[in-house]
Amino acid sequence: MGNRRSPKGDEMSGRQQVGIIVFVVLCGWPALELAGFGMGISLSLPTALVCATIGGAFGGLLMCPRPAVAGTFGGLLAGPLGLFAVCYYTQHRESVWTLELVVVQLVASLPGYLVGVLLQGILTGFPTDCPTSADQTPTTRPASRPPCPGCGYESWYDGVKCSNCKYPALKAAEPDTTPDPAT
């Protein structure tokens, strides 16, 4: 089936992008319709709330599929909160910028995101490979370091090895050109 994660880890997968689109369409647009900024579709608050709840749950599931419970519950909370926040923010406005809507919905969705992350940590286990302050020992550097024989940088050379040119490995990899006295 292959790896579903993105190649670099910091990019969103296609599923997560679709989840964001579902979340925005089913949670943001009903709020704009209720405030009068939409396309003129007549929506009642209960209908918009159902749309936001379904959109939040489905969008959260797509954004956080493992475990599905975490994404779903986070989305169930984030969707209606985003709807109410955008409705409240645009209630007595004559015009609104897109950036305002993004920030309002993002901030309103943070509790749902935090619930999703917390549930994900509870269900899958929190990371334990993080170093603690007791594991870290303070390191002191000498005031002045000698320059590296391989590259000349003194900030990279600690007297034994160079982290810039890998001096001892570089020296070992060079062929020995001294004549052999036995021959």
One domain, residues 50 and 101: yes
Domain membership flag for residue 66: yes
Same structural domain, 159 and 117: no
Containing domain of residue 156, as a range? Answer: 144-173
Residues 54 and 107 in one domain: yes
**Averaged pLDDT, 121-144:** 65
- What's the rounded mean pLDDT across residues 91-117? 93
Residues 28 and 118 placed together within one structural domain of the fold: yes
Q: What is the DSSP string of 56-99?
A: HHHHHHHH--SSHHHHHHHHHHHHHHHHHHHHHHTTT-S---HH
Tell me: the pLDDT tens digits for 138-162? 555 555 666 767 666 665 555 666 6
Q: Is residue 5 domain-resident? A: no
Is the same domain home to 112 and 77?
yes
Within this chain, do residues 20 and 72 fall inside the same structural domain, yes or no? yes
Reading the block at residue 80, the tokens are 């209606």
Q: pLDDT of 15-30, one tens digit each? A: 999 999 999 899 989 9
Rounded Cα gap, residues 82 and 120, in angstroms = 21
Residue 2 lies in a domain: no
